[in-house]
Every structure is written in structure tokens, then in C-alpha cells.
Structure 1
Amino acid sequence: MIEIRELRKTYVGQDGGLVEALHDVDLDVRPNEFLTVLGPSGCGKTTLLKCVAGLIPWDDGDILIDGTPVRGPGPDRSMVFQNFALLPWATVLDNVAFGLRMRGVGRAEREERARVLIKKVGLAGFETKRPGELSGGMQQRVGLARALAVQPQVLLMDEPFGAVDEQTRRLLQEELLSIWEEHRLTVVFITHSMEEAVLLGDRVVLMSARPGQIAEIVPVPLERPRSSDVGALERSGQYVEITAYLWDRLRDMHEEHRPAKAAG
């Protein structure tokens, strides 16, 4: 379980002034939950995720995982980035096994585990290729396999499908659902897409415009497993209703922060 209490984060903006990214964020992520996070651009979604990952410090508040305070990165968490973040000189096999190597796992064991995951994400036969020889969707599959290789309790995903085309995105969503249904990790998934948030999530956390706060948590009562018939799910009344509601809420946030037109 992830517990976030009264989290605040401020950073120095480009003009030298202080910018409050997060203000008194309170959030619980349940064990084995797939939680999606949605909000206006610049609302602090990625900042929140990096705090949970232990990649950046925060000013006030607490983050606990299973009761243990987060003080930095840990073996219980893995992160998948939008920009793939692969080692360009390393093969697919070495990229997937990289985290295991850093943890001192022997070569035979780490390569065996890496090969299993490479097959699971649909890249069997590409073990000796390098990132520059792969499409964007294939690179993101490598990133997902690398994150799963270290067997984390928590998977943190920062718009992982934002840099790929729509068809590839749909395939990756289905693969991720299938993998989650098998492993039941705790997942926190950042997205700009209402449709993606509803398709993947057990609950959707809606964040307010900066400074980021939890505006609302919307439950997604769609049946699981979902990977077997995504098309039927997206045509369901519940899916359409929740997606439309999220868009209405986001549109209202944009309207509230739109500069007023000058009179006259």
C-alpha cells in the first residue's frame, strides 16, 4: 500500500521565482491496484510520480510504502518513462537485464529472466538488436520488460505510451492489461488520455490545475479481466459515461484557469 500525506513540492521556475507544483496531496493506493492519474498539463502528475519513486525530494509531507517511509529509490519500485530511457549501445537482452545486473544477479539467471520477459512483451527474436534498430513501440516494450525484470512491488508509469502512434498505443495497452492481470502489481499510471485512464484503471485520480491537488477520485466499476475484449468494453455505456464525465471535469478546470478577455 502507498500512503501519501500532505505532500508539498515547490521548485524554482525559469524566471527565478518559486512555483508550487504540489499542495497538500493526500492519496492512498491500494495493494495490487491499477491506479490511473489524470489532470491538466503542468498539474504536477509527473512530479508526484517522481516523488513516489524517490527520484526527487519534496518539501513537506510523507510517502510510505507498506508503512516504510520513502527516502530515495528502492528495489520495491520500478519506473517506466515516456522517452524509453534505454541504453543505446546495449542489446535488448542487456537492456532488460540491466537492473538485475546492478543488483548483483548472476549472468545466467538474469539473462534467463530477461528472455522470459522479452518473449512476454512480444520481442522474441530481437534479443541482439539495439534500441536504434527498433520502433518506438518496440523500445517501450523493452522498457516495460526491464521494469518487470526486477520483480517490483510497485510499477510507476509516466505516460509510457505517449510517444507512440495510436495503433501501437492500443496494442501496448492490451499487453499491459494482460501482464497486470497475470502479476497483479500495484501500478500508478500517469496519462493525459481520459480513454486510457478508464480502460486501464480501477480508479482514476483527477488532479487539479497547478498547484496540483486531488480534485476527485472516480471509481471505474468495469469488470476484469479487460484484455480479452477491449473493443466491447469501450462500447459499453459505463465506459462512455465515465469518460464523458472526466472530460467535463477537465474542461471545467481549463475554463477556470483561462485568462479573462479584456473588456471593450
Structure 2
Amino acid sequence: MITVDGLTKSFTARDGTSVRALSDVGLDVAENEFLTVLGPSGCGKTTLLRAIAGLVPWDEGDILVDGVPVRGPGPDRSMVFQNFALLPWATVLDNVAFGLRVRGVGRAERTERARALLTTVGLADCAAKLPGELSGGMQQRVGIARALAVRPRVLLMDEPFGAVDEQTRRLLQEELLSLWEEQRLTVVFITHSMEEAVLLGDRVALMSACPGRIAEIVPVGLPRPRARDVGGVARSGEYGELTGYLWERLRAMHAEHRPERAAS
């Protein structure tokens, strides 16, 4: 479904020097797969996701979605951001319908589709409210509904639950699992949480420190569906082993790139 081949990306820092964010990244994501991406802070996870979305250019390599080269944003891909990115002056209903409006979908159809998705994410009673009247978790539900409204084949999620409290995060994880189990989209989900990466993913793509590369692909053999018993999954021995393994790998990466302490 998604093929990333030899992706390399550099930025120009404020002092004018070139900083390589990604180096020769290779990654394949199967159709209907839920892939989570984990790595040290600053390893290029978000840059990789934005490149797949067609939101940033890159220096070398190719990105294909269903065999078609990515040249920019497209209707086959939809993105959910950590900071919600909602229109503060628009109602919840209009926020969900925004992408449909941009694509020229008629008012009646986009309203019907938006209301159906608000019901799906448990916000049917909030259609007329403004985003500022909602909690962070509710705002992220709106963001997910908006992303799903355009019926993408690929859902790209950039640490979407990073800005909410732990209880809300767990509820959103359960809801996302339920939505994915119903719709079976192809999902690429960026996270800094080992627990979240294992709980949600079919596989975990572990990235190395900057410049980012795919250091390892870790299969997650936990049974599905998981939404009905997230607590049971989190208590399983395999879950503990996988999260422990990922932590050891991340800790080793941090140690390799930690500046040596000056001699006293």
C-alpha cells in the first residue's frame, strides 16, 4: 500500500548549516495495516509522516501509495495532528465537513456524512458547539471524524493523543481501535509511547536517532480485536515483553548519542 524507498531529507538550520533529518529510509506498509512508528525525540518521525502526506518535499528517494508516486497532498490520505488543528470560529459540524467542502461535496451530503461521523465518535450532541467549548479529548475526536469524513484509504496520525491526559488517552485508544477494526484503513501512527505503539500496532517501526533511519521492524503478535479488552491486552505477558524490549532498544540509542560528561 505504502512504499518508502531511500528517503532522505535535510533542513537548513538557523545558523545556515544543513541538518539531515532522514537518511535512506526504507519502509513498506501493507494495505489495512496499523503501523506504529516509535523512536527517540528528534529522529524525524513527524518529517517522515509529513512526507508521506505530501506536505513537505524531500531530497532523495521515492514514496508510493498504491503504486502512485506522492507529489503532494491527495484525497487518498488524511492526517490527524497532535494539536487538533481545528478551525476555532467554525462549529464542530462545519469542522468535520471542512474537507468535504474543499472537495466540492454538496451541503446536504457533507452535512449527512459529518453528522454520521459525529455519532460514531460520540459527539452527536456537540454539532453546534465551537471547538473552544470542548475538552481536549473531545476536540481530538472531532479531528479524527474530520479525517475520516473524506473517506481516505490511508490515515496518518502524528502523536494524536499526546496532548491529552492519561485517562482520556486510553479512551481515545479504545475508540480508535474500534474505528479501525470496523473500517480497516491503512494507518501510520506516530507515537513516543512504547505502550501505545504495542497496544495499537500490527508492527512497530523503530527509528534510530537523527538522522532517522528504520532501525528495526518489530512484529506485534497480540491477538485482535483488541478494543473490547484493552486492559487485558495491557496485562498480558507478551505486551510486557514487547514494551520492555522496545525500551531497551530506545535506551541504547539514547546512550549512544548522549554527550560524554566533562571530566571533573
TM-score, normalising length: structure 2? 0.99
Task: Trace 1:37-56 onto structure 2 (pairs within 5 A).
Answer: 37-56=37-56
Match of 1:217 in 2: 217
Cα displacement (A) at 1:15: 1.9
**CA–CA distance in structure 1, aligned partners of residues 148 and 64 of structure 2:** 21
Q: What is the identity, as a one-letter code, of the residue corresponding to 1:34?
A: F
Q: What is the identity, as a one-letter code, of the residue corresponding to 1:220?
A: V
Extract unaligned runs of 5+ from structure 2: none
**CA–CA distance in structure 2, aligned partners of residues 259 and 148 of structure 1:** 43
Match of 1:94 in 2: 94
1:29 aligns with 2:37: no
**CA–CA distance in structure 2, aligned partners of residues 102 and 235 of structure 1:** 44
Match of 2:235 in 1: 235
**CA–CA distance in structure 1, aligned partners of residues 231 and 257 of structure 2:** 35
SS across alignment from 2:176: helix
**CA–CA distance in structure 2, aligned partners of residues 96 and 261 of structure 1:** 51
Task: Trace 1:7-86 onto structure 2 (pairs within 5 A).
Answer: 7-86=7-86
Q: What is the identity, as a one-letter code, of the residue corresponding to 2:206?
A: L
Give aligned pairs, total: 264
Q: What is the identity, as a one-letter code, of the residue corresponding to 1:48?
A: L
Match of 2:250 in 1: 250
SS across alignment from 1:41: coil
1:207 aligns with 2:207: yes
Out of 8-17 and 70-79, give the one that drifted further: 8-17
CA RMSD of aligned residues (A): 0.6
Q: What is the identity, as a one-letter code, of the residue corresponding to 1:90?
A: A
Q: What is the identity, as a one-letter code, of the residue corresponding to 2:195?
A: E
**CA–CA distance in structure 1, aligned partners of residues 104 and 160 of structure 2:** 27
**CA–CA distance in structure 1, aligned partners of residues 191 and 261 of structure 2:** 30
Runs (4+) of structure 1 moved beyond 3 Å? none
Extract unaligned runs of 5+ from structure 1: none
Q: What is the identity, as a one-letter code, of the residue corresponding to 1:6?
A: G
Q: What is the identity, as a one-letter code, of the residue corresponding to 1:13?
A: A
Match of 1:133 in 2: 133
**CA–CA distance in structure 1, aligned partners of residues 194 and 104 of structure 2:** 40
Match of 1:191 in 2: 191
**CA–CA distance in structure 2, aligned partners of residues 28 and 38 of structure 1:** 15
Cα displacement (A) at 1:16: 1.6
1:4 aligns with 2:4: yes
- CA deviations 1:196-215 (Å, max 9, x no partner) are 00000000000000000000
- CA deviations 1:86-112 (Å, max 9, x no partner) are 000000000000000111111111000
Out of 24-33 and 12-21, give the one that drifted further: 12-21
Match of 2:172 in 1: 172
**CA–CA distance in structure 2, aligned partners of residues 68 and 82 of structure 1:** 27
Cα displacement (A) at 1:14: 2.2
Match of 2:162 in 1: 162
**CA–CA distance in structure 2, aligned partners of residues 85 and 233 of structure 1:** 31
In percent, how many aligned pairs have the same letter? 77
**CA–CA distance in structure 2, aligned partners of residues 243 and 171 of structure 1:** 20
Match of 2:144 in 1: 144
SS across alignment from 1:42: coil
Q: What is the identity, as a one-letter code, of the residue corresponding to 1:206?
A: L
Q: What is the identity, as a one-letter code, of the residue corresponding to 2:199?
A: L
Q: What is the identity, as a one-letter code, of the residue corresponding to 1:89?
A: W
**CA–CA distance in structure 1, aligned partners of residues 126 and 248 of structure 2:** 43
Cα displacement (A) at 1:262: 2.2
**CA–CA distance in structure 1, aligned partners of residues 111 and 43 of structure 2:** 40
**CA–CA distance in structure 1, aligned partners of residues 14 and 225 of structure 2:** 45
**CA–CA distance in structure 2, aligned partners of residues 222 and 52 of structure 1:** 27
